[in-house]
Amino acid sequence: MNDILTVSQFHDAIAGRRCQLLEFTSSIVSTPSLSGEEGDVAQLVIAELKRLDFDDVWTDEVGNIVGKINGGAGPAVMLNGHMDVVDPGPSDPWPHPPYSGAIVDGELWGRGSVDMKGPVAAMIYGAATYKQLRIQPRGDILMTVAVMEEIGGLGSQFLVQQLKKDGINPGLAIVGEPSNSQLRLGHRGRIELQVKFSGRSAHASAPHLGVNPHYAAAKFLNALDQLPLLNDSVLGPATIAPTLYETDQVSANVIPSEVTVFLDWRNVPQESPKHAVAELEAVLDNCLVDKPNCQTEVCVTSQERQTWTGVGREFASVFPAFATEPKSPLAVCAGEVISESTQKPASPSVWEFATDGGHIALAQIPVVGFGPGDDRLAHTNQERISVNELQQAAGTYAALIDRLAKAQIQARSASE
Ligand SMILES: [Zn+2]
């Protein structure tokens, strides 16, 4: 089976639209879109998908955007990115205002330029090459732009379930989070947990009248070191970190009746939220035997948020881990396309942070990761992306769409 086009033909097509790509990227970077407030940027994305002649463009209940390009009978390729950004913080330390979208010395500046409106724009333009050149992709292309990734991934979680309900089953997904234009094959998950210790409040001058929950919490925190954490061959070891600590009092002369410790558990795929809760309960059992008056409770935290479409949802603070086998045909093919396209080794590795790729992989859709931009600049006041890298990534996405679909077809027929 021949390639639809060579990598350099895809790059040539994108070069012809460089100005449009940069103009669109700048327009979405200069439009604020905190999680739950993505409406304005969603309208810009919808308009651009229509302008670029996507066959079908729709918004789902929670405000995710899907742009579809009709293809042949091959596997549908999902491209996934998110349109929300984290708060830029004070403007003063930014060399250029956070919502300027200014291009200075070959770099486009602003909140979301790297994480991840730049990569989203590159994916949209990469997919649109098929329309631009009037060639039919092997299978449908689904450009998905999700809401609320930065607060737990409610958008993509809903998206994959809804696509399934609608009878749309992507054969693979490319997650475009920034990767320095290298191949990423997964990341550890994130489970946010809270452990509550309840005692009995008392005047701090008479501690014997109360049950001070701080002591139980201290014992628990010290015992966390001994918790056996699993190690994954691709993702490395899981870690657990106590983060926030709250009490139910504001006065320093009152023994609290309750303290709550928040934990950030970066889990490997073998550790589910249920497993995490059970492990913590075992630690509590061991270290609190002599504290019969102190009650404890462990749970995964959840939050209730409203989407820009006005839908209220409660969701658990869980990002699943995922790991794509480095020797799988999909990963090998992605590595080849990326190194041919960027003229550098694909350097497969994993992301330090969690992404919507975990939610997508959990829905049984194989995932590879690739995105332009330095991921270390994400969430900082130095956030900016090289416009040449952005343009190059658009061509790489176009080639990945074709070659990965081809690799899936070949892997399927080989296993038959
Ligand atoms: Zn991101």
Q: Taking 90 as the threshold, does the pLDDT of residue 110 lie above it?
A: yes
116 Cα–ligand 1 center, Å: 5
Q: How far is the CA of 215 from the centre of ligand 1 (A)?
A: 39
**How far, in Å, CA of 45 to CA of 319, rounded?**
25
Q: Residue 355 Cα, ligand 1 centroid: separation in angstroms?
A: 6
Q: List residues bridging with 245 in a β-sheet.
A: 261
The pLDDT of 102-114, averaged and rounded, is 98
Query: Tell me, what amino acid is at 266?
Result: R
Q: How far is the CA of 332 from the centre of ligand 1 (A)?
A: 24
Query: Following DSSP, what letter does each residue of 89-102 receive, concatenated?
Result: --STTSSS-TT---
pLDDT at 291 over 80: no
pLDDT at position 402 is 98
Reference 158, options 167, 169, 146, 170; nearest CA is 146
CA of 180 to the centre of ligand 1 (A): 13
Q: What tokens does 280 get?
A: 């913590």
Taking the centre of ligand 1 as the mean of its atom positions, its distance from the CA of residue 29, in whole angstroms, is: 13
List 197's β-bridge partners, or say none.
Answer: 259, 296
The arithmetic mean of pLDDT across residues 59-88, rounded, is 98
pLDDT at res. 2: 84
For residue 15, CA distances in Å to 11, 136, 387 come to 6, 20, 12
Question: pLDDT tens digits, residue range 17-44?
Answer: 999 999 999 999 999 999 999 999 999 9
Q: For residue 289, is pLDDT > 70? A: no
Whole-model pTM: value is 0.92
Q: Which of 6-10, 81-85, 183-187, 210-214 has the lowest mean pLDDT?
A: 210-214
The answer to whether residue 364 scores a pLDDT higher than 80 is yes
How far, in Å, is the centroid of ligand 1 from the Cα of 139? 26
Query: Residue 375 Cα, ligand 1 centroid: separation in angstroms?
Result: 9
Ligand 1: centre distance to CA 274 (Å): 26
For 145, the enclosing helix (H) or strand (E) is: strand 141-146
- Residue 270: name the closest of 236, 299, 232, 241 by CA: 232
- The mean per-residue pLDDT over the stretch 119-130 comes to 98
Query: Could you check whether 7-187+321-415 and 190-304 share the same CATH topology?
Result: no
First to last CA, the chain: 17
Give the class (CATH, top level) of 7-187+321-415. Answer: alpha beta
| Pairing, β 367-369 against β 172-175 | parallel
Instruction: Give pLDDT tens digits for 379-399.
Output: 999 999 999 999 999 999 999
Ligand 1 centroid distance, CA of 300 (Å) = 22
Residues contacting 320, CB < 8 A, separation 6+: 189, 269, 358, 359, 361, 362
Q: Where are the domains of the chain?
A: 7-187+321-415, 190-304
What is the whole-number distance in angstroms between the Cα of residue 181 and the centre of ligand 1? 15
Four-way CATH pick for 190-304: 2.60.40.420, 1.10.150.20, 3.30.70.360, 3.40.50.1100: 3.30.70.360
CA 150 – ligand 1 centroid, Å: 7
Mean pLDDT of 39-59: 98
The mean pLDDT value for 184-211 works out to 95
How many Å lie between the centroid of ligand 1 and the Cα of residue 296? Answer: 35
Position 191 pLDDT exceeds 70: yes
| Residue 1 in this model has a pLDDT that exceeds 70 | no
Beta strand segments in 16-75, E? 56-59, 65-69
Q: Maximum Cα–Cα distance for the chain, whole Å?
A: 82
